[in-house]
Amino acid sequence: MLPIHVAKFGGTSMADAESIQACVEVVERQNNPSLVVVSACAGVTNRLVAISYSHTQTERQRLFDEIVDIHCQAASALPKENAVHHHLAQLHQLLHMLVQQAPDTLESHQRQKRDELLSFGERCSSRLFATYWSQTAADVEVADARSLLVTNSHFGNASPDIGKTREHCADLREQLSQGARVVTQGFIGSSEEGNTTTLGRGGSDYSAAILASALDAEQLNIWTDVAGIYTTDPRICSEARPLEQISFAEAAELATFGAKVLHPKSLKPAIESGIKVFVGHSRYPEKGGTLILPEPDERPSIRALARRKNQTLLTVNSVDMLHATGFLARLFDILARYDISVDLVTTSEVSIALTLDEEGSQANGLSMLPEAMLDELREFATVTIEQGLSLIAVIGNDIGHFGDISPWVLEAASPVPIRLICQGASRHNLCFLVADEKAENIIKKLHAKL
């Protein structure tokens, strides 16, 4: 019996009938028993998020109609009499009931209901994938991820319970080893109380990694719309090159600093379980891809560049900070209470500058700078907010330990002012902030020297 593989297909690979059929071919070409984990069809989750924040019924109905259209398009290559049309109609009916409800006023209820709403994207796409698959193969089943992946009740950004998930995956492991073809949903899980949860935007990679670990899989294959991890986002720089290999640590840094191709959390379960991760193109699997390994053959000092747009720089200035203890603890406590995660930090005698990831929060419809939080900060400090910044990360190995790359960065950025620069906390990156509109050009200049 060959070891189990997990194949994850992202929203771009699930965009329409033709793309889904290409994914089925990819899976059918694999020799190993594979669990397929799918994301919602491209554009569906964004619309579901928009529904959950929209206060007008007309807007909600319009978004719902667009979702139905996306699914009908995706099902268009299936015979009219196929049961999937009936299944989709049932799911759409359930979704419509949620769409018609006015948004809840209680934030905690709202979060729980939002996760229920967001789950429909993957619930529909998994059904579509399984149906296309069953056109060419027997014994295709859909496993509800909510009976496999157990999480806490942190709706919108739930954390997995690895032990319980493992227990819940025992039957699935058996089924796969007996040759069953199983499709499940990425992104969604269930709390112990049985409520639907989601793992955060882009979380299907994370689901796939958690399930791969729970199934003792040998390899996790992430199939997307690019032939692997590139030296930088090929949409920014046409000169970007695919990387044959990259280390877990470098890939994690790339993902954290904006390379959408991989979810930042997805590597942890893979590292812990020693699972190899491969990233490839679902339309052109023959192009090869990137293997993420603990020890790649080469460890160049600069491997790749990443960019995260829409960064907010918060500068908190207070003379109380001078020689004071507990100041940072107080500041971070306030941020944590408002669920704000901090990225880069620099400090001086009386001020601290930190970046907050606005793009990620906006994708979830959240405000990055709630007034109540700013009021609490203003009780003991002056607060300055700068927006419209891009974080550029230079990623590699032993950065700052053997030779200094900052002159190279400063030269590429010049004459654009650098608002903040961070190096030293990790051997794998150097990060800096510049105005959003200047970032692409700087990346191209830096990339030309890679």
Ligand X SMILES: N[C@@H](CC(=O)OP(=O)(O)O)C(=O)O
Ligand Y SMILES: Nc1ncnc2c1ncn2[C@@H]1O[C@H](COP(=O)(O)OP(=O)(O)O)[C@@H](O)[C@H]1O
Binding region for ligand X (CB under 6 A): 10-11, 39-40, 45, 121, 186-187, 201-204
Binding residues for ligand Y restricted to 30-59, rule: CB under 6 A: 39
State the amino acid at position 46 in one-letter form: N
Binding residues among 91-130 for ligand Y as defined by CB under 6 A: none
| Beta strand 351-357 pairing with 342-347 | antiparallel
List the one residue from 109, 235, 337, 378 that touches ligand Y (CB under 6 A): 235
By CB under 6 A, tell whether 27 contacts ligand Y: no
Minimum gap (Å) between residue 313 Cβ and ligand X: 26
CB-wise, 243 or 389, nearer to ligand Y? 243
What, of ligand X, ligand Y, none, does residue 186 touch, CB below 5 to 8 Å by kind? ligand X
Asked if 185 is part of the footprint of ligand Y (rule: CB under 6 A), the reply reads no
The 293-332 contact track toward ligand Y, x by CB under 6 A, reads -----------x----------------------------
Residue found under tokens 């959390």: 265
Q: Which of 5, 7, 10, 125 touches ligand Y by CB under 6 A?
A: 10
Cα separation, 440 vs 450, whole angstroms: 15
**What is the spatial distance between Cα 442 and Cα 75, in angstroms, rounded to a whole number?**
43
Per-residue x/- track, 247-266, ligand Y (CB under 6 A): -------x----xxx-----
Tell me the β-bridge partners of 432.
392, 421
Q: Which of 4, 7, 12, 315 binds ligand Y (CB under 6 A)?
A: 12
- Options 34, 125, 184, 232; binder of ligand Y; rule CB under 6 A: 232
Q: Which does 211 bind (CB under 5 to 8 A by kind): ligand X, ligand Y, none?
A: none
Non-local (6+) Cβ contacts of 300 within 8 A are 396, 397
Q: Which of residues 265 and 419 has its CB atom nearest to ligand X in the complex?
A: 265
Partner residues linked to 242 by β-bridges: 230
Judge contact between 327 and 320, C-beta under 8 A: yes
Counting contacts by CB under 6 A, is residue 280 touching ligand Y? Answer: no
422 binds, among ligand Y, ligand X, none (CB under 5 to 8 A by kind): none
Say which entry of ligand X, ligand Y, none residue 233 contacts (CB below 5 to 8 A, set by partner kind).
ligand Y
Residue type (1 letter), 52: S
Least CB distance to ligand Y at residue 336 (A): 28
13 binds ligand Y (CB under 6 A): yes
156 binds ligand Y (CB under 6 A): no
| Residue 229 touches ligand Y, criterion: CB under 6 A | yes
Q: How far is CA 349 from CA 317, 321, 421, in A?
A: 9, 7, 17
Question: 202-206 long-range CB contacts below 8 Å, 24 or more apart?
Answer: 202/260, 202/263, 203/263, 203/265, 204/8, 204/10, 204/37, 204/38, 204/39, 204/122, 204/263, 205/8, 205/10, 205/262, 205/263, 205/266, 206/263, 206/265, 206/266, 206/269
Residue 225 makes contact with ligand Y by CB under 6 A = yes
Residue with the CB atom nearest ligand X in the bound state: 11
187 binds, among ligand Y, ligand X, none (CB under 5 to 8 A by kind): ligand X
Contact between 393 and ligand Y (CB under 6 A)?
no
Positions in the binding site for ligand Y (CB under 6 A): 10-13, 39, 202, 224-226, 229-230, 232-235, 254, 259-261, 304
